[in-house]
Amino acid sequence: MTGAKAAVEWLTSVAPDPEACRWEWERNPMGVALLPAGRAWDVLILPGELGYPTLDVLTRVIDQPGPVLVDFGDARMGFFVPAGTAARWLGTGVRTAGSGTWIVVPYPGRSTGGVRWLVPPDGSGTLTDPALLELAMHEAAAGLAGNEGR
């Protein structure tokens, strides 16, 4: 199974109706669908000014983080983490999408007018370890704070 096809299968596996999700992706002019968080993954949503340096730190530490979404304007970034993380997350300034919430997800490999993949899913189910994400956030925040003093 190709990467994009495997990614589509992985993403739609959480949809209440996977075929309806695929249909929406094909026909929605924005190229997006709503998918429920909290089944196979949760999403931790960071402000873009923290998200980009956090992703930089993560990619220096691990070969492949889990999927990462960014909204238009780069104001927010969503890191895919294991299901259940949102219910336990205590970090300040980080929004969570877990059980009972839905997120806008673009079709893998296509550009849309709003949300896009910075790190697309590969279909393997790889997610970012929340402990590593937290450490990367701390390092990124420390770097940002150090730059403010200059």
> CA-to-CA distance for 131 and 149, rounded, in angstroms?
28
Distances (CA, A) of 23 to 1, 5, 59: 20, 14, 34
* Per-residue confidence (pLDDT) for residue 88, from 0 to 100: 95
* pLDDT tens, position by position, 101-114: 999 999 887 767 68
Asked if residue 64 has pLDDT above 70, the reply is yes
84: which strand partners? Answer: none
* Per-residue confidence (pLDDT) for residue 68, from 0 to 100: 96
* pLDDT tens, position by position, 40-55: 999 999 999 999 999 9
Mean residue pLDDT of the chain comes to 90
* pLDDT tens, position by position, 69-120: 999 888 999 999 999 999 999 877 899 999 999 999 998 877 676 889 999 9
Asked if residue 146 has pLDDT above 80, the reply is no
106: which strand partners? Answer: 32
> CA-to-CA distance for 22 and 43, rounded, in angstroms?
21
Written as one letter, the residue type at 136 is A
Question: What stretch of H or E contains 43?
Answer: strand 41-47
Backbone angles phi, psi at 5, to 5 degrees: -65, -45
The pLDDT of 110-133, averaged and rounded, is: 89
Neighbouring C-alpha atoms within 13 Å toward the C-beta of 99: 7
* Per-residue confidence (pLDDT) for residue 3, from 0 to 100: 79
* Per-residue confidence (pLDDT) for residue 52, from 0 to 100: 95
> CA-to-CA distance for 128 and 113, rounded, in angstroms?
26
Greatest alpha-carbon span in the chain: 53
pTM exceeding the 0.85 threshold for the entire prediction: yes
Asked if residue 150 has pLDDT above 60, the reply is no
